[in-house]
Structure 1
Amino acid sequence: MNSSNQLWRSAILLSNATIAEAIRNLNEVSIKIVLVVNETGVLEGTISDGDIRRGLLKGLDLESSISTIVHRNAFVVPPEFERELVMQLMVANKIQQIPVVDSNHRIVDLHIWDEITLPTARPNLMVIMAGGMGTRLRPHTNNCPKPLLEVAGKPMLEHIMDRAKLEGFNHFILTIHYLGEMIEDYFGNGEHLGVRIDYLRENSPLGTAGALSLLKPIPDSPFVVANGDVITDIRYGGLLDFHVRHGAAATMAVRTYEWQHPFGVVNTDGVEIIGFEEKPVARSHINAGVYVLDPITLNTLTENVRCDMPTLFERLQVNAQRIVAYPMHEPWLDVGRPDDLKQANINNQI
């Protein structure tokens, strides 16, 4: 929940309170809203400073009941609404507070704009795979590891970490192999970025999951894994919350990929024609290269043995552990070819 200090509890008044009590509450609690409930704790509405002033202009006095100034159609949301959606609702409705209510319309929290716009500090680790050879990007990668290639004036790796920092992540582990010393020289321990950076050094390429076998100590909570060549606006924190909410062992971010058939398609049943489709569009989900894993998943890896992430997910499925897909809609680009690098710079022009 957003109001971790539970300050909203002090903003609750019973519906038989007076305007004077509402004013005192606004001044003392300082969250610019009074939450009005009945005797059973059900939310009846809210009161703002503007509601009070309008009541006084109508001739009410300080001893008048607040029942006549309560905004009874207050905007509320259920607990499962995610932060991004709540922020959109606040902007669209030009409000700075939204009560969170359960199925019985009892208050369980309060979203406050000043709090919800601050990133929640997350102790979870984020591992970024930065050891690839980048062969498809040659000659750009002849003397530079792919994750250090610049997009809009700074390395792709830095874009990824900056995005994650906005979501409250501050401890990163970079897996390195090809020209890894250049990545270490550039980022160091992360102090100049205001984060902590550690490194996993692969003696040979271990794939998109194999390097995780080198994690010591093993994380004690779910951790995010991202490919070092994926530029995206995905909310890493939202992905992590989704993973936890679904009780998964592993979560894979996926994107919808559309492919249009270049010809009209004839549907047949034996020799009978049963229908036509003019250049149909096929839709499927593709791996977006961003994941959340529970520490237990590391038991399926053998130290220093190559393993790609799809293989890891297949092993988990065979072991009857839950694997889920996180459908993402945010901008995304896998920078694997020179044209992709060019497009990334166009998309991120400053």
Structure 2
Amino acid sequence: MNPPNKPWRDALLGETASVRDAIGSLNESGLQIVLVVDTNEALTGTITDGDVRRGILRGVGMDDPVSEILHREPMVLPPDMDRQTALQVMRSNGLHQLPVVDEQRRVIGLHLWNMLDTPPARPNTMVIMAGGRGTRLYPHTENCPKPMLPVGGKPMIEHIVERARAEGFERFVFAIHYLGHMLEEHFGDGSRFGVEIDYLREERPLGTGGALGLMKHRPEGPFVVTNGDVLSDVRYGEILDFHVRHNATATMAVRPHEWQHPFGVVHTEGVDITGFEEKPMVRSRINAGIYALDPSVLDHIAHGEHCDMPTLFERVQASSRRTIVYPMHEPWLDVGRPADLELARAAHEV
């Protein structure tokens, strides 16, 4: 059972909570599950990352009730089942968490199978784009490439490598240009960090897609690409698994973005007024700068040509291959301005 401090209680959430509250609980507890309970702490249902992503794809809003994404009939275990049997049940059903409930269905525990403790090695390559000049971060980047800016006592890009390594990634490729020698001097061949690192050296900026055209060795399987200035708690391995599961050629991680119009909107048809909206909320999805790609996408890039990632996705679509989105809700920060850098540093303060 769970230790005396009952960390599973961090996953409890009331029935009247919103989707935003559920996402906050997932991110804060780190347990990868929300246990939605009534006033007697009887289990109403569960919410996982997958439930949130499916809800986002259906257009569920952040302020909608959790009932919109609730899994109402989750598998549960009785309190007298030993941990080894519980792990066998979880393994056979592909589950990482299983609630423990009593006869009144009150939550009294949570079995966890944390795969990150002993992650299986992933043969997939991870490409990190680290060649930009970071002009919006001047003067911080005057003598330091943006991915090497210190956050929490280490270069920003090192956080990305460590998170990926914790998920089993061992092979990395850095695309470098501006002050690229500083990255090579710090990381070398990667052995000091327990990984392998190769380099794509851009003589001029080629864009995220164009840099991939410099790859000398085509990956044997799907690979992950991320911008070197994006810090997130997203699990790179889950993006890759999602990509494979949906039989996609190119997958783009996207985040929901909400913006409230500052004015009342008037709808018209010609000169006739057809309706009004008072400061409507505009919902959209933005590119999070993280991708999963099949090796075949490299056929759409000429060596040495400039190509950004949206253009590459359009080329893949034009070839009638599948391109999809991976909806993410995890904490995410694109460190592009001085204020973003301060936010990143504040988040990593010890």
Whole-angstrom CA distance in 1 between matches of 2:131 and 2:303: 16
How many aligned positions are there? 267
Aligned-pair distance for 1:95?
4.8
Whole-angstrom CA distance in 2 between matches of 1:78 and 1:274: 56
Give me the identity figure in percent: 58
* Paired position in structure 2 for 1:94: 109
Give the SS at the match of 2:182: helix
Whole-angstrom CA distance in 1 between matches of 2:81 and 2:290: 47
C-alpha contact 2:76 2:99 (8 A) present in aligned 1: no
Whole-angstrom CA distance in 2 between matches of 1:90 and 1:193: 37
Structure 2: any 5+ residue segments left out of the alignment?
1-74, 101-106
* Paired position in structure 2 for 1:257: 257
* Paired position in structure 2 for 1:224: 224
One-letter amino acid of the structure 1 residue matched with residue 175 of structure 2: T
Whole-angstrom CA distance in 2 between matches of 1:75 and 1:163: 28
Give the SS at the match of 1:157: helix
Whole-angstrom CA distance in 1 between matches of 2:115 and 2:283: 39
* Paired position in structure 2 for 1:336: 336
One-letter amino acid of the structure 1 residue matched with residue 209 of structure 2: A
What is the CA RMSD across the aligned residues, in angstroms? Answer: 2.8
Whole-angstrom CA distance in 2 between matches of 1:340 and 1:48: 46
Judging changes above 3 Å, is the alpha-carbon distance between structure 1 residues 152 and 90 closer, same or farther for their aligned structure 2 residues? farther
One-letter amino acid of the structure 1 residue matched with residue 109 of structure 2: K
C-alpha contact 1:87 1:116 (8 A) present in aligned 2: no
Aligned-pair distance for 1:347?
2.0
* Paired position in structure 1 for 2:299: 299
* Paired position in structure 2 for 1:273: 273
Aligned-pair distance for 1:271?
3.1
Judging changes above 3 Å, is the alpha-carbon distance between structure 1 residues 282 and 51 closer, same or farther for their aligned structure 2 residues? closer
Whole-angstrom CA distance in 2 between matches of 1:267 and 1:163: 48
C-alpha contact 2:77 2:98 (8 A) present in aligned 1: no
* Paired position in structure 1 for 2:324: 324
Q: What are the superposed Cα offsets for residues 170-229 of structure 1, whole Å, 9 maximum, x if unpaired?
A: 111101110000110011111121111111111111111111111121111000000000
Whole-angstrom CA distance in 2 between matches of 1:325 and 1:119: 25
One-letter amino acid of the structure 1 residue matched with residue 132 of structure 2: G
Judging changes above 3 Å, is the alpha-carbon distance between structure 1 residues 153 and 90 closer, same or farther for their aligned structure 2 residues? farther
* Paired position in structure 2 for 1:203: 203
Whole-angstrom CA distance in 1 between matches of 2:156 and 2:115: 29
Give the SS at the match of 2:199: strand
Whole-angstrom CA distance in 2 between matches of 1:241 and 1:206: 28
Whole-angstrom CA distance in 2 between matches of 1:329 and 1:180: 32
One-letter amino acid of the structure 2 residue matched with residue 232 of structure 1: S
C-alpha contact 1:266 1:277 (8 A) present in aligned 2: yes
One-letter amino acid of the structure 2 residue matched with residue 87 of structure 1: H
* Paired position in structure 1 for 2:175: 175
Structure 1: any 5+ residue segments left out of the alignment?
1-44, 53-69, 98-112
Aligned-pair distance for 1:256?
0.7
Judging changes above 3 Å, is the alpha-carbon distance between structure 1 residues 75 and 320 closer, same or farther for their aligned structure 2 residues? same
Aligned-pair distance for 1:232?
0.6
Q: What are the superposed Cα offsets for residues 230-257 of structure 1, whole Å, 9 maximum, x if unpaired?
A: 0111110000000000111100000111
**TM-score normalised by length of structure 2:** 0.70
Judging changes above 3 Å, is the alpha-carbon distance between structure 1 residues 46 and 234 closer, same or farther for their aligned structure 2 residues? closer
Whole-angstrom CA distance in 2 between matches of 1:282 and 1:48: 45
Aligned-pair distance for 1:163?
1.1
One-letter amino acid of the structure 1 residue matched with residue 173 of structure 2: I
Give the SS at the match of 2:212: helix
Give the SS at the match of 2:169: coil
Give the SS at the match of 2:96: helix
Aligned-pair distance for 1:269?
2.8
Aligned-pair distance for 1:120?
2.4
Aligned-pair distance for 1:319?
0.8
Q: What are the superposed Cα offsets for residues 256-297 of structure 1, whole Å, 9 maximum, x if unpaired?
A: 111110011122233333322111110111110000110011
